[in-house]
Amino acid sequence: MSWQMHRVDDRLIHGQVVVAWGARLRPARIWVVDDAAAANPWERELLASAAAGAEVRVVPVAEAAAAWAAEAAAPGGAFLIVPDLATARALVEAGAPVPAFTLGGLHYAPGKTKVNEYVYLDADDRADARALLARGVALEVQDVPASRPQSLASLDPGSAP
């Protein structure tokens, strides 16, 4: 199977993804699933330049869901990165059978409360998390491979269904 990691990170492709996770898993491809980034040629180019050798595909949710099975059968490994829990939920609801997401960076914004040092959630995020968990999608919080993964529900009971 090609999918190595499914990550929720508002920074998309950045140092932790490329250096820490990339060195550990060595993906051939990085899929950024974000409708806004997919519609912006400058952002697509910027994301591709940050990937340190991996092929980058910046696509909208519907395209990622439609290509899911083909990527799962492709040689080499692939990462999937979405910017937020709403996009993760939309991808699953569009038919992508994602078994789990690793939350790696959902940073502070007004109205969000701290879950840990790098995850902040608001009521909408918690509703999306509950919907994903109710569909059987595991949600783990882990910034880098060396840190211990923790379930989101154990850190934030308001996210549990």
Q: Can you give the pTM of this predicted structure? A: 0.94
Is 11 in contact with 84 (CB distance < 8 Å)?
A: no
Is 152 in contact with 103 (CB distance < 8 Å)?
A: yes
| Cβ neighbourhood burial of 49 (10 Å; 0-12, 13-18, 19+) | exposed
**Integer Cα distance of 63 and 70 in angstroms:** 12
105 C-beta neighbours (distance < 10 Å), count: 20
| pLDDT (0 to 100) of residue 1 | 46
Q: Which CATH class is domain 3-159?
A: alpha beta
Is 37 in contact with 11 (CB distance < 8 Å)?
A: no
Is 90 in contact with 61 (CB distance < 8 Å)?
A: yes
- 107-136 pLDDT per residue, tens: 999 999 999 999 999 999 999 999 999 999
The residue extents of the domains of the chain are 3-159
Is 142 in contact with 150 (CB distance < 8 Å)?
A: yes
Full pLDDT tens readout for the chain, 161 residues: 489 999 999 999 877 777 788 778 888 999 999 999 999 999 999 988 887 778 999 999 999 999 999 998 898 899 999 999 999 999 999 999 999 999 999 999 999 999 999 999 999 999 999 999 999 999 999 999 989 999 999 999 989 88
97 C-beta neighbours (distance < 10 Å), count: 13
| pLDDT (0 to 100) of residue 22 | 79
| pLDDT (0 to 100) of residue 26 | 86
| Residue 43, CB-side half-sphere exposure with 13 Å CA sphere | 14
**Integer Cα distance of 99 and 81 in angstroms:** 14
Closest CA to 81 of 4, 21, 148, 12: 12
